[in-house]
Amino acid sequence: MNDKRFYITTPIYYPSGKLHIGHAYSTVATDAMARYKRLCGYDVMFLTGTDEHGQKIESKAKEAGVTPQEFVDNIVAAPGGVLDLWKLMNISYDRFIRTTDDYHVESIQKIFRAMYDKGDIYKGAYKGKYCTPCESFWTESQLVDGKCPDCGREVHDAEEEAYFFRASKYAGRVRDLLLNTGFLEPRSRVNEMVNNFIDCEGGLQDLCVSRTSFTWGVPVDFDPGHVVYVWLDALFNYMTALGYQNDKYNDLERFWPADAHFVGKEIVRFHAIYWPAFLMSMELPLPKKVYGHGLLNFNGDKMSKSKGNVVDPHLLSERYGVDALRFFLLRSFPFGSDGNFTNELLIQTINNDLANDLGNLVSRTTAMAEKYFGGRLPEARQENPELDGSLTSLVSGLRGRYEEQMEKFQFQNALEDIFKVIQRANKYIDENAPWALAKDMDVNGPRLAAVLYNLLEAVRICTVLLTPFMPESCEKIFAQIGAEETARTWDSAAQWGVLPAAVSVTKGENLFPRIDMAKELAELDAIQEEAKKAALPAVEIEPLSQEQVDFDTFCKSDFRAVKVKDCQNVKKSDKLLKFTLDDGTGTDRQILSGIAKWYKPEELIGKTLVAIVNLPPRKMMGQESQGMLISAVHTERGEERLHLLMVDGAIPAGAKLC
């Protein structure tokens, strides 16, 4: 059996809504790492999944009028859901766990009981704020302006019986783990964790690990009414998915402890403090590394559904191809730091790196091999150490440089090393001017063959190393340059001259078409605008007035049915319409109304409307308005809407409305 093993995980996604590009970032990075390790010959276990319990899911399901299980099933397994997205994005996970899977639920119950039996979980009271209408507990920090974050109403102090985990007991060991080992990376996150959560006033606090105010969770089997806190439930997925405390799988011995947990920086706290403390309590080996990657922002702003700025990975994959998107995510942002996603950067990266550099190199090389040699290089080649050395020496050290960066999860640097070679190879074409050599094939044929062979070898080695990032495109490149299986391996990436001397080349499709930046940006902006609108409330109405009006005052307002005899636009005004109305008195009444945005004059002639007729007359654009037409107003997806109040034509002009 292969004794090189590697276990890597992504955070399991919380299926409360649609996945955006930020979620895809964690998973694409983990996938690239898993593929890299497989390329290096490791037996890899790549775990991902979904974290499906908790109060938020319960209340979202309620809003949607479905059971929580139906709600999560719909996001995880329905068409266009999480599983579909990972398939689309070529995520090569070996196992997918859902925390609602029976085996996981049973394992969590056993773990909870074991911690309780050991005395590391004890019963106490959870003090917090309570919103009675919502029946929800909140912590001080969850409140918005001191009020319930869900409904905005007053909250009050309350206590809920709860179980607590003795995190404080493990504070010293966790502190030591963080400060004195390489457990958490990047190192910059270590001090933040230690200072904020362990060396803070009061030290590391015990953690509330059960709740009674909602039911969507793993039930505590020895105390009905309690469900296990979602983070305890979720974190142990990394072990239950290998068979810890269950018979479903039997991979613990082979794969635990994990080699790396990739997690976004906002959940480092759970992975770097509570997770090792839970494992210490269960006397289990600790994972080797937690890597807290940065978050992607959009145009400098946090991605959030309510801001309507979440970037949809389905849409981008469709427009640019999955590989281009995967590549962009890992090429453009240093993994450990936050990154600013912009549409310009995306298109620029695709155009510069993929279309200009890589795409051009592959298409020029294969096109010349076809044009000058009918696709098959002659074996007679004439090397020129002076001219070839700068390319071959750069290529020969590439695998080592790449490996060093990949082992540190520095995907951006690894790609940078590859692209230095690609750029050098493009320059090598210009320096050697194959088109000039081709003018006299009798003399220069062997030299031309050497130039093209060197280029193919450079492309091959770069392509082997790019495979973890762009698996499908690399397959296509291999096919174009005639690289068989043996020329696609990790070992072959450190060897020059693996392609056969008489290699067969076929120019294929253009792998990375150039994108017209201006046109594309305009289209993306339009899509973005639509998304923003869609994120706004469907219908917004003005809050009801809190001020009361006494009956007599109300009765003074004289509302009448009025029939439109004529209606015209008012010159020099794009807002006003001028109405000539029959109000039943026999004398025409003129009213001006700022509704030209919503109605054309001819639509209104003959209609019966409602007007208040005893307002003092006022002048608008030099013309008198004798009253006001009544309309209904509301906001729809951020846009103001207006409807004139129209009444049945059977109501005679002048009828009083009360």
Binding of residue 325 to ligand MSP (CB under 6 A)? no
Minimum distance between the CB of residue 89 and ligand MSP, rounded to whole angstroms?
14
- Alpha helices by DSSP H, 139-199: 171-180, 188-193
Q: Tell me how long the chain is.
A: 658
**Residue partners of 568: CB distance under 8 A and separation at least 6:** 577, 578, 601
Minimum distance between the CB of residue 366 and ligand MSP, rounded to whole angstroms?
37
Residues of this chain, 235-294, that bind ligand MSP according to CB under 6 A: 235, 237, 263-264, 266-267
Separation of alpha carbons 47 and 236, rounded Å: 12
Minimum distance between the CB of residue 137 and ligand MSP, rounded to whole angstroms?
20
Q: Which is nearer to ligand MSP, 11 or 276 (by Cβ)?
A: 11
Nearest to 244 by CA among 278, 284, 214: 284
Minimum distance between the CB of residue 66 and ligand MSP, rounded to whole angstroms?
20
Q: Which stretch binds ligand MSP (CB under 6 A): 8-16, 56-64, 555-563, 638-646?
A: 8-16
Q: Which stretch binds ligand MSP (CB under 6 A): 12-20, 373-381, 513-521, 538-546?
A: 12-20
Binding mask 286-305 for ligand MSP (x = CB under 6 A): ---------xx------x--
Minimum distance between the CB of residue 99 and ligand MSP, rounded to whole angstroms?
9
Q: Indicate the helix (H) or strand (E) that contains 55.
A: helix 55-64
Q: Which stretch binds ligand MSP (CB under 6 A): 32-40, 229-237, 240-248, 279-287?
A: 229-237
- Contacts of 580-589 with C-beta under 8 Å, sequence gap 24+, read 581/609, 581/611, 581/653, 582/653, 582/654, 583/611, 583/613, 583/653, 583/654, 584/560, 584/652, 584/653, 584/654, 584/655, 585/654, 589/562, 589/613, 589/626, 589/627
**Residue partners of 273: CB distance under 8 A and separation at least 6:** 167, 174, 193, 197, 198, 204
Residues of this chain, 380-399, that bind ligand MSP according to CB under 6 A: none
Cβ–Cβ < 8 Å for 505, 124: no
Minimum distance between the CB of residue 274 and ligand MSP, rounded to whole angstroms?
10
Q: What number of chain residues touch ligand MSP (CB under 6 A)?
A: 19
Separation of alpha carbons 231 and 111, rounded Å: 13
**Residue partners of 26: CB distance under 8 A and separation at least 6:** 10, 11, 262, 263, 264, 293
Separation of alpha carbons 569 and 462, rounded Å: 69
Return the amino acid letter for 551.
Answer: F
Q: Which stretch binds ligand MSP (CB under 6 A): 138-146, 189-197, 233-241, 579-587?
A: 233-241
Which one of residues 8, 12, 316, 418 is an interface residue with ligand MSP (CB under 6 A)? 12
The sign of the torsion formed by the CA atoms of 398, 399, 404, 405 equals positive
Instruction: State the burial class of residue 580 (Cβ atoms within 10 Å of its Cβ: 0-12, 13-18, 19+).
Output: middle
Minimum distance between the CB of residue 180 and ligand MSP, rounded to whole angstroms?
25
Q: What is the DSSP string of 498-564?
A: -S-TT-B------SS----HHHHHHHHHHHHHHHHHHHS-SEE-PPPP-S---HHHHHH--EEEEEE
Residues of this chain, 14-43, that bind ligand MSP according to CB under 6 A: 14, 22-23, 25-26
Q: Which is nearer to ligand MSP, 264 or 468 (by Cβ)?
A: 264
Q: Which is nearer to ligand MSP, 11 or 287 (by Cβ)?
A: 11
Binding of residue 3 to ligand MSP (CB under 6 A)? no
Binding mask 51-90 for ligand MSP (x = CB under 6 A): x---------------------------------------
Q: Which is nearer to ligand MSP, 284 or 657 (by Cβ)?
A: 284
CB nearest ligand MSP: which residue? 264
Task: State whether residue 38 is helix, strand or coil.
Answer: helix
Minimum distance between the CB of residue 305 and ligand MSP, rounded to whole angstroms?
11
- Alpha helices by DSSP H, 244-377: 252-255, 268-269, 275-281, 313-320, 322-332, 343-349, 360-373
Q: Which is nearer to ligand MSP, 6 or 13 (by Cβ)?
A: 13
Q: Which is nearer to ligand MSP, 234 or 462 (by Cβ)?
A: 234
Which one of residues 6, 7, 8, 13 is an interface residue with ligand MSP (CB under 6 A)? 13
Minimum distance between the CB of residue 54 and ligand MSP, rounded to whole angstroms?
9
Q: Which is nearer to ligand MSP, 286 or 498 (by Cβ)?
A: 286
Residues of this chain, 573-612, that bind ligand MSP according to CB under 6 A: none
Using CB under 6 A, list all residues that contact ligand MSP: 11-14, 22-23, 25-26, 51, 234-235, 237, 263-264, 266-267, 295-296, 303
